[in-house]
Amino acid sequence: MSSEPYKNVYLLPQTNQLLGLYTIIRNKNTTRPDFIFYSDRIIRLLVEEGLNHLPVQKQIVETETNENFEGVSFMGKICGVSIVRAGESMEQGLRDCCRSVRIGKILIQRDEETALPKLFYEKLPEDISKRYVFLLDPMLATGGSAIMATEVLIKRGVKPERIFFLELNL
């Protein structure tokens, strides 16, 4: 999107593959195993797109044929932080794309009296302030939990530009 308030919002390309996957998971006749399988495929596409937005630096490596290959390497470590419980459904997709990735957890629930989000629990990697963070939550309703989770990360020293909120809106 090019609109200024949304300059950091990226949508997955609305390809026939993605639209087909959404068609399957939104069909009321889709079985539970199929819903899980195809949702996991969408999650993996989302994680892969998130990885495309991480900074890289040029790196030259020598191939098996003694030729140089000009590629890139990521400029920092990443971690995933799932907003418990729904965000945990996205963890495997991140692990499928990033070997040995660290995962943190944040539990936020709506306060019954005030209807505002309330932080109940956080367990984050010690060095989270030095990492790029994929904040995982498949469903966005009011945005209260996402905002609070982002505030928790910032208080732990994560720079806002290093936080990538991955959301599906199934």
3-state helix, strand, coil in the chain (%, to 5): 40, 25, 35
- Single pTM value for the model: 0.86
pLDDT at 4: 57
pLDDT at 145: 85
Cβ 120 vs Cβ 108: under 8 Å: yes
Amino acid at 24: I
Residues 6+ apart with CB under 8 A from 1: 7, 9, 10, 11
pLDDT tens readout for residues 71-115:
999 998 999 999 988 889 999 999 999 988 999 999 998 888 887
Domain residue ranges in the chain = 4-166
Residues 6+ apart with CB under 8 A from 90: 43, 46, 47, 80, 82, 136, 137, 138, 166, 168
Maximum mean pLDDT: which of 12-16, 78-82, 141-145:
78-82
Classify domain 4-166 at the CATH class level. alpha beta
Q: Residue 78: what are its φ and ψ, rounded to 5°?
A: -120, 165
- Which residue, 75, 79, 71, 70, is CA-closest to 54? 75
pLDDT at 86: 84
Q: Decide if pLDDT at 149 tops 60.
A: yes
Give the C-alpha separation, 37 to 30, whole Å: 11
pLDDT tens readout for residues 15-32:
999 999 999 999 999 999
- What are the tokens at 75? 């400029």
Cβ 122 vs Cβ 105: under 8 Å: yes
Q: Hunting for tokens 């490596």 — which residue is that?
A: 61
Mean pLDDT of the chain: 90
Q: Decide if pLDDT at 34 tops 70.
A: yes
pLDDT at 5: 53
Q: Decide if pLDDT at 1 tops 80.
A: no
Which helix (DSSP H) or strand (DSSP E) does residue 166 occupy? strand 163-166
- What are the tokens at 144? 């209260």
